[in-house]
Every structure is written in structure tokens, then in C-alpha cells.
Amino acid sequence: MLTIIIRSILIYLIVLLVFRLMGKRQLGQMQPFELVLTLIIADLATIPMAEVSVPVLHGVVPLLTLVVLHFLLTLISRSSQQFSKIISGKPVILVNPKGIDYQAMKKLNLSTDDIFAALRECGYFSLSQIQYAIMETNGKVSVMPKADYAPVTNGDLNTKVEDSFIPIVLISEGKIIKENIELAGINEDEIQKIISQNSSKSKKIKDVLLLTIDKTGQTYLQMKEGEGISFQSKRLVET
Amino acid sequence: MKFFHYINFILIVILLAGICVLEDVMVSNSLKEMQSICFEIEGKLENYNDLKNMDIVLSIDNLEYRWHKDEASLCYMVNHKSIQEIGQEIAKLKLYISGNDIEAFKVSLEEIKFYCHSYLHFMGANIHNVL
């Protein structure tokens, strides 16, 4: 049993390394060749994990071979459009201003139900709202609505809006994230002050569930016991 | 970062090539050595009428020692179950010595040679194994 436990840990770490080397794409964003590799990797990893008589190398070698293969396919795909089309296919226009492209639908083995399901996922419930719908190489459908149904943007209304910024997490589950404090250009005393001024219950850092701040000074504080509050603190120094 | 990405893959390729070469060298060296020891024992058998003599016993001990030593290393590369027959046949050889069963002894030796030959075939890189 100990052997199986150690092997499982070893294989897990190797598969983790393999996926890190392959990149951060999620299942739904994978190209066909990446999906195939992922499925094979999942299967390969279980064999040496459960079967003690099979050397770990019998799992590791094919895994590493697939990493190299993936690297090579990605490299060639990037440098050759033609090769990329062969391996990943190319985007197909499913819906155009005239309606559903039946030939494209047949070629992709889709039914009208599949198309409607994909359109509904994009927030469109009627074909009359859609100018173009494109099936991407990773299987997702991108929709371009007709001008009448396109969401209004601030640009359309000529409204001046200040850019929003990504909030920096200063405290997460009672722990100060030192790296982010440096990034935000504030110190622990200032953080303590923010907590003391805005928390009615505990004033301790360890009781903070989440404290975030963005470049404009917009702060969000939630204690472990209590509701979250948003307030304005000082603007952060540009770092 | 991109540089390290390439280095990673080059290292993996080198590692894979190293494993392949190591496997080939280890497998062929140990199995060929086993075969040659078997031939040596067969040669010695022609000079003796019975198995209970020091020369044969030492040769079998040597065969067993070599196999146990190589089997441990081979297990990193090949399935344990695929190479267990040689160990079983060596154990039988020792039994045949105590029973002085020369015919069965010869058969077992032949089996060991046959297994070594078969292993060399199925563990090596050739088109039959690939397909």
C-alpha cells in the first residue's frame, strides 16, 4: 500500500508538471489536439499508479513524450497557418445575415438545437438578433449581434467614465499578503488603521476575511464575522 | 521566460533519449550476459556426469547472483511480471542439482536461454514492437 501511495504522489506531481508545461488553458478552451493529449495523459497516469508491477517510468516516459509532442505541435502551428488549420481546423461561420448556413451546420455535425443552445449561452434567444455566429476552433460559438440588439457602450453614449482598476488583495483570510502591500505602496500600520476605523467588531488583522483596495482608493473590507463594506480610502501611489 | 521554456523541452528530450539508451544498454547487456553464462554451464555439463560438483554449483550461484543483481535494475525499466520466468527457472535449476536430475536441468537451461532471447526481442526497439 505504501508503494501505491508513494507512486500516486509521484505521478500526481509529474502530471502537475506536465500540465504546467503545457500551459493554462481550460478544458473548454482547448484545441482538438490539446484535448486529445489531455485525455491520453489522464489515462496514462492511472496505469503505473494502480499497477505496482508496472515501472513508474512506463507512465513518465509517455507523459514526457506527449509534452514534447505538444510543444512541437504548438511551435509548428504558430509558425505555419496551413499546419494550424490541419491540426486545429478553422473558424466556421454558422449564422450569417441570411440565416443558418445549412452546409456549415452539416459539416460540423450540428443540429439546429445545438446552434440555438450555443446562441442562448451567448445571451441571444432569436436568430433575428444575430448578424453572425462563428464556431471557433475550440468549439465555442462567438456571436456578433445585429446593430439594433448590440449592447450600448459608454462610447456610444459619449459618456466619460474613469477607467476601472483591478483591486489588490491586501488581506486574505487573516493573512497579510506582503507582496501586494509593497505593490500598493502602503504599510501594515495604515492597514491596521483602515481596519480600526471601519470595523465595529474586532480590530485584529487575523479576523479579516478580505481586504482589497484599488488604485482609486476604493476599498472593500469584510471581517470573518460580519458583512462586507465598501468605502473610499486614500488613492494609491502609482507603482 | 521563453528561453527557459525551450530549455525545459530540450532537457526533457535529452532525458527521454537518455532513458531509451540506458534501457537498451541495460537490457541487452544483462540478457546477453545471462545467455553466455548459460552456454558456459552447458559446456561444463559435457565434462561431468552428475550435477553435484562444485563447478556447476558455483556457476549456478553465479547465474543467480547476476540475475538478481540485473533484475533489480531491469525492474525500473520493464514490467516485473514480464521477466519473472528467468528467476523461476534458476530456482528450478537449484532443485535439479539437489535431485541430480540432469535432463530437467538441461531443459531449464534451454528455457532460460529462450526467455533471454525472447526478452531481447520484445524489449528492444523494433518494428514488430512498435506495431
Q: Which domains does chain A have, with CATH numbers?
A: 2-86 (no CATH), 92-149 (3.30.240.20), 168-232 (3.30.240.20)
- Residue type at B17 in one-letter notation: A
pLDDT band at A188 (very low <50, low <70, confident <90, very high): confident
Read off φ and ψ for residue A176, nearest 5 degrees: -75, 135
Whole-number pLDDT of residue A26: 58
Residue B14, in any domain of the structure:
no
Q: Is B26 on the interface with A (CB under 8 A)?
A: no
pLDDT score at B46: 82
In this prediction, residue A237 carries a pLDDT of: 53
Its domain, for residue B33, covers: 21-123
Q: Is residue B88 part of a domain?
A: yes
Q: Which residue has the higher pLDDT, B131 or A143?
A: A143
The pLDDT of A129-139, averaged and rounded, is 90
Q: How far B7 CA sits from the closest chain A CA (Å)?
A: 12
Any domain includes B74: yes
Nearest CB neighbour to A55, from listed B8, B13, B77: B77
- Which of these, A219, A228, A173, A165, lies nearest to A194 by C-alpha position? A219
> What tens digit of pLDDT does each residue of A5-27 get?
888 888 888 888 888 877 766 55
Please report the pLDDT score of residue A25 as a whole number: 63
Residue B131 located in a structural domain: no
State the pTM of this model. Answer: 0.68
User: What is the predicted pLDDT for the residue at A101?
Assistant: 92
Looking at residue A32, what is its pLDDT?
77
Neighbours of A14 (CB within 10 A): 19
Confidence at A228, pLDDT banded by 50, 70, 90? confident
- State the pLDDT at residue A239: 46
Q: Is residue B67 part of a domain?
A: yes
A78 touches B: beta carbon within 8 Å: no
Does B4 map to a domain? no
Q: CB-based contact (8 Å) between B77 and chain A? A: yes
Mean pLDDT of chain A, nearest integer: 85
The CATH number given to whatever domain includes residue B103 is 1.20.120.660
**Could you tell me if residue B73 is inside a domain?**
yes
CB atoms within 10 A of CB A135: 24
Is residue B17 predicted with pLDDT exceeding 50?
yes
| DSSP labels, B19-40 | HHHHHHHHHHHHHHHHHHHHHH
Sorting pLDDT into bands at 50, 70 and 90, what band is A212?
Answer: very high
H helix intervals, A108-158: 112-121
**Is the predicted pLDDT of residue B75 greater than 60, yes or no?**
yes
| Angstrom distance (rounded) from CA A34 to CA A128 | 35
Domain count, chain B: 1
Asked if the model's pLDDT at residue A186 lies above 50, the reply is: yes
Q: Is A71 on the interface with B (CB under 8 A)?
A: yes
For A101-116, how does the pLDDT look when each residue is reduced to its tens digit (9 = 90+)? 999 999 889 899 999 9
User: Is B13 among the domain residues?
Assistant: no
